[in-house]
Structure 1
Amino acid sequence: MLSSTQLAIMLDLQDAMNKKVNPDWLNAGYGYLRAALIESVEAMDHHGWKWWKAQKLDLPQVQMELVDIWHFALSHLIITHNGEIATAASVIEQALEAGGSSVTFDGTDYNFNEQDLLANLELMAGLCAAKRFDVPLFVKIVEQAQMSANDLFEQYVGKNILNFFRQDHGYKEGTYIKIWQGREDNEHLVEAMTECDSTASNYADVLYNKLSSRYQKN
């Protein structure tokens, strides 16, 4: 289960990234659950669902889609709680501790602990279309996609920090250098993540500084 420290870090990062896009993002009316819906459908495609052709589960791509969904879900939850990060964190933590196993959608009860990954992705997509997001369902999907809570946290923070780093170093202006010492920045990110303690409260800052050090050597 995600810790309170991890939740606080992710919510703070999401709020900061959204402010970088639009300082008034809380009132902008962006369709975060619409975005989560699209990512859910893309995850279904990476899973494979077409009975009329041969398909293979692409688990790494499903996992990447889940990390993207979590970005949009956190944004939605922050808005739901009027921008109060601490309140959003508390509500998420309570939902995780309660450990729900079912949701009611369109008059039908769905026990997501008894459904497979594909069925749960479809259920999540339906909920997002109805402007709803269920945290315990999402956590179950993460588990079914063979990710731990720590995997979700590390991949989420890693993607956020890389996005921050790119923006801070000229990505929008077109001056950012994506290839460092013959390798793409996301490869350096993966290595830098292995050098950091993801349980530390300053994990995000340490990771950013690791990237800065590598970039300056370019």
Structure 2
Amino acid sequence: MKPLQLEQARQLLALQSQMNSIVNTDWLNAGYPFLRAVVVEVGEALDHLGWKWWKKESSDLQQVVVELIDILHFMLSHELVAAKGDLERAAEHLVSMSHPSCDAVEFDGSRWMLSRNDPRNLFELLAGLAVCRRNELPVLEACFDAFEMTWDQILVQYVSKNVLNIFRQDHGYKTGTYIKEWSGQEDNIHLVDIVATLDVASANFSTELYNALSMRYRQR
């Protein structure tokens, strides 16, 4: 996995700042616990991957990736707050942290290996670090790498989820009027289905995705 590039970091942060501003124009000063949200999303990722030894489970790897993208959203938000909204400063810091070849992270007196590790262990590490207010991009990169994802692929997934997040806000997510389950499936699953039918390299990808979501939502 190649390191995060500066232009990719700029694009991710700009989209995240835009999304957060839709939720609250003063989000930078709101004191939102973004790393707490990382902990919760890790739990959801583990549930999709499967970890319970006392029952039969099946993994939904597409939804695991969706949860990892959610985690990225919150980690980007944390970086933007730390940089006081300065996108260039946050982008440079993210790039400086990006070390996909990083072999280990020191945490709680132990050395946690990142490469060739069970993704479940990596998720635990990510949650533990977040609880301690440590935003460790190499650990998230190791999680993505475990599913053989590159930053180019991550960017496509991120843009897709960002479109869904904006769609949710436009349709009453914050006020509680948005319906998250359509035709017996959560909107995250519809998102994956729709993206698979579109040309992600198209200059109109975001617009086409938003329109397709709107059509399905009306038909629910």
Q: Which residue of 1 aligns with 2:148?
A: 146
Aligned partner of 1:155 in structure 2 is: 157
Distance of 1:49 and 1:119 partners within structure 2: 10
Distance across 2 between alignment mates of 1:15 and 1:164:
12
Can you list the C-alpha shifts for 1:117-171, whole angstroms capped at 9, x where unaligned? 1111111111111111211110110111233322211111111123324545777
Residue equivalent to 1:116: 118
Structure 1 position 62 matched with structure 2 position 68? no
Matched-pair contact (CA < 8 Å) for 2:100–2:142: no
Give the 3 Å change call, closer, same or farther, for CA 51–20 of structure 1 in structure 2.
same
- What do the CA deviations read for 1:155-201 (whole angstroms, capped 9, x no partner)? 1111112332454577768699x99xxxx874785267x33527xxx
Q: Does 1:190 align with 2:192?
A: no
In structure 1, stretches of 5+ residues that fail to align are: none
Specify the code of the residue in structure 2 equivalent to 1:18: N
RMSD: 3.0
The change in CA–CA distance for 1:108 and 1:159 in structure 2 (over 3 A counts) is same
Q: Classify the secondary structure of the residue corresponding to 1:56.
A: coil
CA offsets per residue over residues 82-115 of structure 1, 9 Å max, x none? 2111111111112225842221111212121142
Structure 2 length normalisation: TM-score?
0.79
Question: Hey, what's the Cα distance between the residues in 1 that align with 2:29 and 2:63?
Answer: 32
Match of 1:45 in 2: 47
TM-score by length of 1: 0.80
Residue 210 of structure 1 is matched in structure 2 by 208
2:86 to 84, 87, 90: 84
2:88 alignment partner AA = A
Give, in whole Å, the separation in 2 of the partners of 1:64 and 1:187.
9
Aligned match of 2:10: 8
Please report how far the alpha carbon of residue 71 of structure 1 lies from its aligned counterpart in structure 2 after TM superposition.
Answer: 0.5
Change (3 A) 1:213 1:46: closer
Residue 28 of structure 1 corresponds to 30
Contact 1:43 1:61 in 2 (8 A): yes
- Letter of the structure 1 residue corresponding to residue 73 of structure 2: H
For 1:62 and 1:12, locate their aligned partners in 2 and report how far apart those are by CA, in whole Å: 24
Distance 2:129 2:103 in 1: 15
Is the counterpart of residue 135 in structure 1 residue 137 in structure 2? yes
Alignment partners' CA distance in 1, 2:52 and 2:146: 20
Aligned position for 1:17:
19
User: CA shift at 1:46, angstroms?
Assistant: 1.7
- State the Cα deviation string for residues 24-51 of structure 1 (Å, max 9, x = none): 1111111111111011111112222222
Residue 113 of structure 1: SS of its match in structure 2? coil
* Seq. identity, %: 38
AA paired with 2:195? V
Q: SS where residue 115 of structure 2 aligns?
A: helix
